[in-house]
Chain A
Amino acid sequence: MKNKKIYFSLFALILFSVAVFNCTGSGDSGNFSDAASKVYVAPGSYDEFYAFMSGGFSGQVAVYGLPSGRLFKEISVFSQDPETGYGYSEESKAMLMTSYGFVPWDDAHHPSLSMTTGEQDGRWLFINGNNTPRIARIDLKSFETAEIIETPNSAGNHASPFVTENTEYVVASTRFSIPILNKDVPISSYKENFNGTISFISVDKNNGKMNLAFQILVPGFNYDLARPGKGVSHGWAFFTSYNSERANTMLEINASQNDKDFIAAVNWKKAEEYVKQGKGKLMDADYYRNYFDEEKQMAVSEVNKKVLVLNPKDCPGMIYYLPTPKSPHGVDVDPTGEYIAAGGKLATVIPVHSYSKMIKAIEEKQFDGEIDGIPILKYAAVNAGEVQDPGLGPLHTEFDGEGYGYTSAFISSEIVKWKIGTWEVVDRIPTYYSIGHLMIPGGDTKKPWGKYVIALNKITKDRYLPTGPEITQSAQLIDITGDKMKLLLDFPTTGEPHYAQAISADLLTKNSKKIYELEKNKNPNAVKSEKETRVVRNGNEVRIYMTSSRSHFKPDNIEGIKVGDKVYFHVTNLEQDWDIPHGFTVKGLNNSELLIMPGQTKSIVWEPKQVGVYPFYCTDFCSALHQEMQGYIRVSPAGSNVQISYNK
């Protein structure tokens, strides 16, 4: 009897503990069955938004659906992709050419959608290569990389590629200051020899073609992030900088000494005037522009040897410094263009500057000295307010279009919601863990869809099934339609989801390409019908012009190849049907397979080293007889007299 009582008490205690634990032990709040229905996209239904997330160190861009968090595609941008042949095929290798040679990887940080009158127009997505300074333009009809331009006089292309209101420019700057032109100097001569640059890359409004319009030479700080103005502040662009100490060693300590660093406010309309007046200097440079010629289905490189550089000393009124506490990281402009919020990663407040106050301060010459010809405006004269208690390590701010800013706080792992104007914090929600950027669909435009905010987290620790030392990074979808933010969904991401953009799906779905028209394929190595297929020897170079269609290659048996030959497979996919790519590979191919879209031609080089018979086959399960889609190549010894022959 007594025992039973004890057992009962124990049982009650356990129940009670479980109940308490359930109430308080989980960091997650909210009703998850309700959350599930908000992110459930029924089979066969479409998501409301496309989200484009940078792959960070993967160098690519991943395409997700929101609110489901489903992954649709990884777009090859800066990194080779053996799955499709990107960066390996003869048609795509040129995309990854730089003045440093072939660089088949990068560190891709900030996707940025093209805009018209400050709203997303669904034409292009830009993204920076941080390591080897580059900017890529992705075509949102084909979801493929269409162009990559290098930026000279730059090292660490981090503050990039944010677009101006009508995509007049994508901006860039150099995170690492360097000698300009780069030369062999002692690193300790940093203060004399090192400078930064800010770049304006124009975008042709008809075809998207990028052109480095001009650069501005700036003091040797570290330029970190940027946002062009919009609405009232259209015509300006804002760049954060840290290391105004101009330290060159142990920046962790030495660049964290000043109470305030600077946001550089650039009047780019004024800069354009100075360019017209001939104030720019043409400097020697060496940088690539690679573009994908869609008609030829082939990347082409051009090398540029000059760049136009403006010096603030010759161009008064073009650039001002706004003092900003402390080592600011992000700089974000609200939908009206009036407020400029800085994420001072070491600051205890979020300083928000006012565009109209800045203009007034410039008119009244409220300066506090100057650096290398750049006037420093007085902090009090430009500051609109400070958000107090914004969490530790505030980095980035996005806006919901309803009068609120949402700032990520890296160190305290949270998103803080604050009110524009009163600068008071109205809500906060934990993130799991160490949030970097955050993103509201359209949250950097004049017209945000203030429905969700996505937290892009650097660390996940215990949030998912562990997969050894390397575990996934993640995104978190948070509902912001109510007064309280509500966590709806966690989902893993490829690479590091550094920053992201999202766009209403209907802006893209209607334009999404289904096939490439064979008739319009101008690739010099294309064959438009099986009748045109052939094998041509020219010395030790053999070109195989072949076709693929369900479920065969033409030709499918090839003889007369010899060890020491350089064999080009030029494969044209004759299909004109949606979602019928064909793959191609041959045994022992040293570079990559090919994935060829309907109507497309791709080429890969093979240098067989051993005598024998080699099968080739289709790698994409294309049809019921996919396994029959194969052929053989006979490789004879060097110097043998087996003639080229093939069946058609």
Chain B
Amino acid sequence: MSSRSKYLMLAASLILVIVFVFPIWNIDLEAPQYPEGIGLRIWINQVTGEKEFDLRNLNGLNHYIGMKEIVPDAIPELKFMPFILAFFIGTGIIFSFTKNRKFIFVWIVLLLIVMSVGLYDFYMWGYNFGHDLNPHAPIKVPGMSYQPPLLGTKKLLNITATSLPGIGSILIFISVTLAALSLFVDKKKRVGANV
């Protein structure tokens, strides 16, 4: 492997470190009486409000429609996701020094699989919160569920919910691109060397 591809792979791994300090997904809610907005931030290891008390206030509002309280400590994914991320950072660094392209290929595929599973899990999480409603809730609208959109904007009663990937997801995407590029750059170089 060339030094260029090594650095690309090293960058792909190290960039994942930044994912610890940025949200991977943003859910922003707009309602007439929330001109200042109210939102959720999903991090690799926690769920917070966009502003200090947003999560608390959202939980307060959600009890009217019988939605379960979002208790970050009770979400198991948040406990092991940091370890998965650390695994990719660690193996990524190691693979950038080993000259095995296959390992990097597997690394990329594995990361893509983990991302897809994560996305599916997130969708199911939203599905469950939106559908598993307390039958005694004060506000019951026949046929209405409150699943936030996975990607994009959706109107839920008086609230317009917008769900978009956060900086964390963009960083993971960049990481995958860099890793793939490291394979590509390497290949091109070798082709050149053969000529």
Contacts and interface: CB of A to CB of B under 8 A. Distances in A.
Contact of A577 (B60, B64, B138, B139): B60
Contacts of A575: 57, 60
A578 B56 CA distance: 12
B105 interface: no
B53 A624 contact: no
Interface string B119-163: 000000000000000000011000000000000000000000000
Contacts of A166: none
B134 to A, nearest CB: 15
Interface in A40-85: none
Contacts of B139: 624
Given A624-B64, A625-B64, A576 B138 contact: no
Contacts of A303: none
Interface in B28-75: 36, 52-53, 56-57, 60-61, 64
Q: Which 8 A-B pairs have the closest CB atoms?
A: A576-B53, A577-B57, A576-B56, A625-B138, A550-B60, A549-B60, A576-B57, A577-B53
B60 A515 contact: no
Given A576-B52, A578-B36, 12 more contacts: A515-B53, A549-B60, A550-B64, A575-B57, A575-B60, A576-B56, A576-B57, A577-B57, A577-B60, A624-B139, A625-B64, A628-B138
Interface in A499-534: 515
A577 B54 CA distance: 8
20 contacts: A515-B53, A549-B60, A550-B60, A550-B61, A550-B64, A575-B57, A575-B60, A576-B52, A576-B53, A576-B56, A576-B57, A577-B53, A577-B57, A577-B60, A578-B36, A624-B64, A624-B139, A625-B64, A625-B138, A628-B138
Residue of B52, B53, B56, B139 ringed by the most chain A CB atoms within 10 A: B53
Interface string A555-592: 00000000000000000000111100000000000000
A84 B100 CA distance: 73
Contacts of B56: 576
Contacts, number: 20
Interface string A540-559: 00000000011000000000
Interface residues of B, number: 10
A142 B8 CA distance: 53
Contacts of A549: 60
A211 B37 CA distance: 43
A257 B173 CA distance: 90
Contacts of B64: 550, 624-625
A160 to B, nearest CB: 39
A515 B52 CA distance: 12
B94 to A, nearest CB: 44
A600 to B, nearest CB: 14
Nearest to B53: A576
Contacts of B53: 515, 576-577
A628 B139 CA distance: 13
Interface in A359-411: none
Nearest to B35: A44
Nearest to A578: B36
Contacts of A628: 138
Interface in A580-636: 624-625, 628
A575 B54 CA distance: 11
Nearest to A599: B53
Contacts of B61: 550
A560 B36 CA distance: 45
Contacts of A577: 53, 57, 60
Nearest to B63: A550
B40 to A, nearest CB: 15
A578 B138 CA distance: 23
Nearest to B52: A576
B66 to A, nearest CB: 13
Nearest to A577: B57
A342 to B, nearest CB: 49
A549 B53 CA distance: 14
Contacts of A624: 64, 139
Nearest to A579: B33
A577 B51 CA distance: 11
A578 B139 CA distance: 23
A347 B61 CA distance: 66
A628 B63 CA distance: 15
Nearest to A550: B60
Contacts of B52: 576
Nearest to A515: B53
A510 to B, nearest CB: 14
A577 B64 CA distance: 16
A78 B20 CA distance: 53
A265 to B, nearest CB: 51
B151 to A, nearest CB: 28
Nearest to B58: A577
B182 to A, nearest CB: 47
A305 to B, nearest CB: 45
A624 B65 CA distance: 12
Contacts of B60: 549-550, 575, 577
Contacts of B138: 625, 628
Contacts of A550: 60-61, 64
B88 to A, nearest CB: 36
Residue of A550, A577, A625, A628 ringed by the most chain B CB atoms within 10 A: A577
A299 B36 CA distance: 32
Contacts of A515: 53
A625 B64 CA distance: 9
Contacts of B57: 575-577
Contacts of A578: 36
A576 to B, nearest CB: 4
A587 B64 CA distance: 28
A622 to B, nearest CB: 11
A550 to B, nearest CB: 6
Interface in A418-434: none
B188 to A, nearest CB: 55
A625 B57 CA distance: 16
A18 to B, nearest CB: 48
A166 B53 CA distance: 37
A576 B52 CA distance: 9
B124 to A, nearest CB: 29
A575 B53 CA distance: 9
A438 to B, nearest CB: 37
A577 B138 CA distance: 21
A575 B61 CA distance: 11
A358 to B, nearest CB: 54
B21 to A, nearest CB: 24
Residue of A550, A576, A625 ringed by the most chain B CB atoms within 10 A: A576
A43 to B, nearest CB: 13
B109 to A, nearest CB: 45
A404 B53 CA distance: 50
Residue of A515, A549, A550, A628 ringed by the most chain B CB atoms within 10 A: A550
